[in-house]
Structure 1
Amino acid sequence: MAACIYFLLMLMLCHSYAQTWPSGTYGLPKPLTGCPSGWVDGRRGHDTEDTNPINMWSVPINLAGYQGRSNMEHQFCMKTFTSGSSSWPAGEYCIYKYGSCPSGFQEKFILWDDEDTDNMNTKSGTLPDGIYDNNSLYKFCCRNDGDTWQAISLPTGNNFYLFAIKAGSTCQRVIGMDVTSEWFHWDNEDYMNADGESSGSNTPYPGAFDNSISEPFSTIFLAYGIMLSCISLSGIRLIFCYYQLKSAWPSGTYGLPKPLTGCPAGWVEGRRRHDTEDTHPLNLWSDPLHLAGYQQSSSMEHEFCMKTSTSGSSRWPAGDYCIYKKWACPSGFQEGYIYWDDEDSSNINTQSGTLPDGEYTNDTKYKFCCRDDGVVSQAINLPTTDNFYLFAVGDTCQQVAGKTVVSEWFYWDNEDSSNADIQFGEHPYLGVTARGENIKLTFCYYN
């Protein structure tokens, strides 16, 4: 009995230890989800350039505070007590300095030359070490003694930020956490700008710019809604590495259409080539269409993301949508199928990898798991770290919390002679068209 009690106490101690932040005093950018328990927060309002202002930021951005084209409020989570579980692990990242840099870090700084005219900088609460007057000087603690791809151990009980550093420019991996690279660009004083940073390579990335630097961005959001692909920059930009607990897909085995961005980690892939009608071919599809594979007027390759492990975080939520069947439909779904009568003459259907349940000969049968026990406008919870597809069961896509959905479609022009397209049970919308031949499906793309 005593041994059991001792074992339980050791488990509790280890769990507590694993969830405690490293020792020392320091700060991190504050996410929308808040600060770790016991930490204090602070705020710095930056009055940036007022003439032709061009502050920019990534979409999404999960920083607490506000972002505007000529100002922004930056918020902080500050650990002001020295106790902690251990030392910070080796890696490539920066944190805010508060007191002394923890062991293994080097002190760095960046100077913001904020707006000169009618400066309205503000501050409150507990701030990182630095200078906060009409300009802003933040001090950082940075290290470059590891590999960003070698995941380090940090507490997973809260979402949090680290900074990328110039030496690597990619975000440090953290065990058990998904990471998203976000950024904010400060358009600082245009007249005799004095933005600056400490020397050396191991400083927050990319830091201070000059007017000669022009960088491409895949998604740029200006506060007044302009999208650009390339712009000449000056000011300061930082990479904010946002960490959130790894999302687990619902339990069970099933499949989803594969998007161009790929499959969730740990899933396997498959491919099915449809040889569709060759005489006067008329395959059609939406624009845009984010399906992996290829689309042509007389053939198409359909690719799949298949979850073959039964493990998962929970059950699939109630709603109106379909997924591919693999072995058994998860709880709450009903089974159905659609049969594709592919080209009869010189049929060159192919398949490889792991496929949904069905039949794969000169024709194709896909089996589905569908449910119709919710409201499409009521957002359901699913992992948000991957782009993915669901099938619609009606003419409207199911909403998913934290994701934007685009309704896309593909129309298969199947065999014209004695066509045998058919469907049974629960299946995606539309299925076999009203003419009784050819098939059109609605693919709900979540990004």
Structure 2
Amino acid sequence: MKNLEISFALFFVIFTAKSAALVEWPFGTYTLVKPNAGCPSGWLEGWRYQDNEDHNNKNKMSYGHHFYGSFGRNLKFYYCTRDSNEFSGRRYWPSGNYCILKQGASCPTGFQTGSVYWDDEDRNNKNSYGGVLPSGEFGRNTRIDYCCREDGPYNNAVQLPTTQPFYLLRFTSPCQMVQGMNFENESVEFDDEDNNNKNSVSGKYPLGASNGRNQRLRYCYYSPLGSKYVFKDRRATVLQLSRIIHEKFHILTLVGAGFLTGSVYWDDEDGNNENSYDGVLPSGDFGRNTRIDYCCREDGRYDTKVQLPTSQPFYLLRYTSYCQMVEGMYFREEKVEFDDEDLNNKNSISGEVPKGANRGRNQQLFYCYYWQLGSK
């Protein structure tokens, strides 16, 4: 590793509008939920007002969400529809694990269809709509049709436009990664009709929806990376971090009862090796190659929130699950991929190691970045 200090040497690369604009929206007709940044230029818009349960209403939105509309005891969402007469894009939707909203008689190539049905408030129902909506039914109750796919790994970043924010829905995995975009998990919980509730789902539908009394949908909000950091091998290709790194790239080594230990070994560049270090580092070796020791645990559920300090951001590393949830903190997954020595590579691992580390030629690590609820 080159120039190893408390943080790794990083090279700063600016995304230009020109490069982002090279990727167009896939062709076909479909609908996306409108974010507060607006719809893509030239798309058609519509809205749906849902009259939710009147008694002891428990509608709930993710704090700091980015939906455009009005959200209280009743919910009004807006939608963006790609017009069937708009032929600029000639690409298919990429393989992955995500859902969009159906528009018209069929889903785009590669998707499977399904629907979610909301039993809205029975008494004095005020449901209404306007403009162009996704396929479904929009009377006294609501049915929306979806297009979902799971033909690729969610952590294989796909290419979609990066010029402005947009929403996808989760299907059977965490949020689909998108090249050049940050993402945030957002959810909507609907308080539907209490009496003789007829909520239902059919076919392939987004994560969270069910036949239960109150529907729930899990969204992924994508926003353009303002910048990107990279590592650079002396001989080789520039490698991208899959997420923007915040200020410094911290290596975290946890110590204490309940942890199991292990290590990750990087075979760094052989030719003109410039590794260096300073200050206080975690346990390991920091010579011409790098070994870092880790402490890992799996004695609890990742979705049971733990208590840790919330006064400032920090990193943990993923182990055998998704990111550990922490009380009072947002989180986002970030990944680092290392381009290690090409010739006679000796990368290795031992014991219990973070997710992504391996004995292959190039190491990778999955981090969880935490920041305080209510902060940017």
| TM-score > 0.5 by shorter chain | yes
Query: What are the superposed Cα offsets for residues 252-306 of structure 1, whole Å, 9 maximum, x if unpaired?
Result: xxxxxxxxxxx936943369xxxxxxxxxxxxxxxxxxxx989xxxxxxxxxxxx
| Aligned match of 1:237 | 216
Q: Where does the alignment leave 5 or more consecutive residues of structure 1 unmatched?
A: 1-11, 211-233, 251-262, 272-291, 295-326, 328-349, 354-386, 390-403, 405-443
Q: Work out which of the residue numbers 130, 133, 150 in structure 2 matches 1:127.
A: 133
Does 2:167 align with 1:161? yes
Output one character per residue of 1:127-152: Cα deviation in whole Å (capped at 9) or x when no partner: 00111100011011111101111110
- Listed as ranges, the matches of 1:296-315 within 5 Å are none
Q: Does 1:93 align with 2:98?
A: yes
C-alpha distance after superposition, 1:348-398 (max 9, x if no partner): xx8216xxxxxxxxxxxxxxxxxxxxxxxxxxxxxxxxx649xxxxxxxxx
Partner Cα distance (1:74, 1:245) in 2: 22
What displacement does 1:155 show? 0.4
Give 1 or 2 for the bigger CA radius of gyration.
1
Residue 208 in structure 1 maps to residue 210 in structure 2: yes
- Given that 2:20 and 2:163 are in contact with CA atoms closer than 8 Å, whether structure 1 keeps it comes out as no
Q: Which amino acid aligns with 1:79?
A: R
Larger proportion of strand: 1
Alignment pair present for 1:352 and 2:281: yes
Where does residue 25 of structure 1 map in the other structure?
29
Q: Aligned-pair distance for 1:80?
A: 1.3
State how 1:238-387 maps to structure 2 within 5 Å: 238-248=217-227, 264=245, 267-269=248-250, 351-352=280-281
- Quote the offset at 1:182 in angstroms: 0.0
1:87, 1:266 → 2: CA distance?
Answer: 36
Q: Deviations 1:227-246 (Å, cap 9, x if unpaired)?
A: xxxxxxx3100011100012
Which residue in the other structure is 1:192 paired with? Answer: 196
Q: 1:116 to 1:270 in 2, by over 3 A?
A: closer
CA-CA distance at 1:208 after TM superposition: 2.2
**RMSD value, Cα:** 3.3
Distance 1:161 1:270 in 2: 32
Give yes or no for the alignment of 1:173 onto 2:177. yes
Task: Answer whether contact 1:195 1:235 (CA < 8 A) is retained.
Answer: yes
Give the whole-Å Cα distance in 1 for the aligned partners of 2:226 and 2:254. 26
Unaligned runs of 5+ in 2: 1-15, 230-243, 256-277, 283-311, 315-328, 330-370
Which residue type is aligned with residue 268 of structure 1? F
* Cα distance, 1:248 vs structure 2: 3.3
Corresponding residue pairs, total: 239
Task: Quickly say closer, same or farther: Cα 1:115–1:270, change in 2 above 3 A.
Answer: closer
TM-score (norm 1): 0.49
Percent identical pairs in the alignment equals 35
Q: Aligned partners of 1:195, 1:131: CA distance in 2, in Å?
A: 14
